[in-house]
Structure 1
Amino acid sequence: MLIVTCAVIIHHGKILICQRSSTMDLPLKWEFPGGKVEPGEDEKETVVREISEELHLDIEVVKRLEPVEHAYPSFRIRLVPFIAYVVGGELRLEEHADAKWVTIEELVRYDWAPADIPIVEQVRAGDIWN
């Protein structure tokens, strides 16, 4: 099972969502950005590193949400989500096709990667602003 982190990044009352590129697995699906945990790295370090590498944003992690386990046809993942705030940097995409700042209400309008759907539901149901 792959251990993967993602960040629900909040900035000016909106949440950052990213669209996978056409060359990635699950092409053009939307996701909360993040990446795989490397050996010797903890989950919080992973999400901070991945967001810096992929999006050129510096984030402060403030809360861990409930992890999601999902079986894709060829692999299984445990997706560990974090709530984070932007503390520096400027959004620049390295791997994704697109990125948008959206409201909680707008989250349901996007075609999400299956493992991210329970996280969308957690965000919509919970109080992420505290």
Structure 2
Amino acid sequence: MIISKKHIHVTCAIIERGSLVLAAQRSATMSLPHKWEFPGGKIDTGESAEECLQRELMEELNIGVTVSRALSPVTHGYTDCTVTLYPFVCTIHSGEIILHEHAAVVWLKADELPTLDWAAADVPVVAMYLTTVIPD
């Protein structure tokens, strides 16, 4: 008997501030505890990816963002599910970061991003983003 894994569609925000990029650390109570990720969340039925991104960032971080561009979606198979990430490069236009779900956030230069212990689905997003960044 073949049991198909759940396929989850998730947005993620690559939030830029000057030459820095935001990374968020998952809390101990989240799946993949303590791994780093670009913040975002599951797309609800009938919701566009950009609507989801705005909703999730307000819920998780208390911020509104302006999307500057989308990157190509990335699909990763975990043991219990498959995740397709829809990454968007953004800037904050309103709010101050308040952590509602994450353990921590850091602002890093793009070339420092690979030093973090990323969730597996985010690893190719980091690599793709780095190909789009012009070094200082």
For the superposition of Structure 1 and Structure 2, which TM-score range results when normalised by the shorter chain?
Answer: over 0.9
1:74-114: CA deviations, max 9, x gaps? 01111110000111100110000000111101101100000
**Offset of residue 22 of structure 1:** 0.7
Aligned to 2:11: 5
Aligned to 2:38: 32
Aligned to 1:90: 96
CA distance in 2, matches of 1:16, 1:55: 11
TM-score (norm 1): 0.95
CA RMSD of aligned residues (A): 1.3
Structure 2 counterpart SS, 1:118: helix
Q: 2:21 aligns with which of 9, 12, 15?
A: 15
The answer to whether structure 1 residue 69 and structure 2 residue 75 are counterparts is yes
Structure 2 counterpart SS, 1:96: coil
TM-score (norm 2): 0.91
- Structure 1 segments of 4+ aligned residues over 3 angstroms from their partners: none
Sequence identity (%): 43
**Count, aligned residues:** 129
**Offset of residue 72 of structure 1:** 0.5
Residues 60 and 101 of structure 2 are in contact (CA less than 8 Å); yes or no, is this contact kept in structure 1? yes
Gapped regions of structure 1 (runs ≥ 5): none
Aligned to 1:60: 66
CA distance in 2, matches of 1:40, 1:67: 19
Gapped regions of structure 2 (runs ≥ 5): 1-6
CA distance in 2, matches of 1:127, 1:17: 16
Q: Which has the larger radius of gyration?
A: 2
